[in-house]
Chain A
């Protein structure tokens, strides 16, 4: 494999090269080295949207979309036999599994069984990492459970969501939700669209 000294280029050239690449590819690349992440921070990488997936208190994720590409990180207590990779998230090492890599998308799973941190706090760390260099056009959130989601960090960091969804698209059954949580979504969360398929408990 022949090599190419990217860091030797002037900043304007580095920026032009990065702008020719997809934000999803760069997002994945940002986890390989702190130096690369710092380079991306200088230029800010444009992403069409970031969607938070809150499936359950122990299963959550974040998805970056840019053009036709998609990059999804799922954080859950599931073990699988794929090979391990190390990610550098905000300077700290994290073990991850690659679930799927196609031409335009890739998906990763963090094995939180080996971590003492909760899935949500890992999501927060990954989110901090991504927001340090991504310039995001739209934020969305999908919630599939009803308890304690008001405590999650996303409500404090995103000023306005494009789409807030409490609706499992693969499941016709309504999602149970507490009245106070429904009120919170309707009255306190700034959003353009709200999709609900819920039953108040």
Chain B
């Protein structure tokens, strides 16, 4: 199992704050957690960056998952590809403790990657990143005709739906006939 450290720094403050009293207060060492995707590559992420993910934040705060436990057993996200998880971790690190900008231009332009990223972000419950990704998906069809959009989104036409339904009925009928014949054979 290999390990990567994604732009994290133990010297960074745990929470950004503007209060002058807090600035004078001694720095609290930042805690780190570990996650891995389908490729088993472990990513070290600070607790501050993980705040973006409601799922992981909930696991930490509700289940009392400690840093030591996390180090021994990284959060497994077997349904997320390694490169996609890397993108998510990068985004969380970049936006750690910062207000999220209205636009994010660093999202992947390839449709396949974006499709997987949206699924991962939805699973990890990262609200702001999900909004960016969905905006990107909506932008992909900007200026296209309705018929082009339907094709890009792979929505079947009514005729295709009807044909598929007929086919399914035919198949179900054949299977039922096959079962009846088999049952009759058994009875003999």
Within 8 A of A (CB), among B136-187: 137-138, 140-141, 143, 145-158, 161
Name which of B32-40, B77-85, B114-122 contacts chain A: B114-122
Question: CB-defined interface of B92-111 with A at 8 Å, one 1/0 digit per residue?
Answer: 00000000000000000001
CB of B70 closer than 8 Å to a CB of A = no
Within 8 A of A (CB), among B31-71: none
The size of the chain B interface, using a CB distance under 8 A, is 30
CB of B134 closer than 8 Å to a CB of A = yes
Given contacts A17-B137, A21-B138, contact A4 B150 (CB under 8 A): no
CB of A146 closer than 8 Å to a CB of B = no
Is B158 a contact partner of A6 (Cβ separation < 8 A)?
no
Given contacts A4-B137, A20-B138, A32-B150, 7 further A-B contacts (CB under 8 A): A9-B118, A10-B122, A19-B134, A21-B141, A25-B149, A33-B155, A101-B145
Q: Which chain A residue shows the least CB distance to B162?
A: A34
Given contacts A1-B148, A10-B122, contact A33 B130 (CB under 8 A): no
Q: Which chain A residue shows the least CB distance to B156?
A: A35
Partner of A1, one of B134, B138, B152: B152
What are 22 A-B residue pairs whose CB atoms fall within 8 Å in the complex?
Answer: A2-B111, A3-B111, A3-B154, A4-B115, A4-B140, A4-B154, A6-B155, A9-B118, A12-B122, A13-B119, A13-B134, A16-B130, A16-B131, A17-B138, A20-B131, A20-B138, A21-B138, A29-B149, A29-B150, A32-B147, A32-B155, A35-B155
CB of A80 closer than 8 Å to a CB of B = no
Size class of A's contact patch?
A: 20 to 34
- Minimum CB–CB distance for A2 against chain B, Å: 5
CB of A31 closer than 8 Å to a CB of B = yes
Partner of B158, one of A12, A21, A88, A103: A88
Is B138 a contact partner of A33 (Cβ separation < 8 A)?
no
Q: Which chain A residue shows the least CB distance to B131?
A: A16
Partner of B153, one of A6, A19, A31: A6
Is A5 a contact partner of B148 (Cβ separation < 8 A)?
no
CB of A196 closer than 8 Å to a CB of B = no
Alpha-carbon distance A129/B153, docked complex (angstroms): 21
Is A5 a contact partner of B154 (Cβ separation < 8 A)?
yes
Residues of chain B contacted by A88 (CB below 8 angstroms): 158
Residues of chain A contacted by B148 (CB below 8 angstroms): 1
Q: Which chain A residue shows the least CB distance to B135?
A: A20
Is B146 a contact partner of A32 (Cβ separation < 8 A)?
yes
Question: CB-defined interface of A35-70 with B at 8 Å, one 1/0 digit per residue?
Answer: 110000000000000000000000000000000000
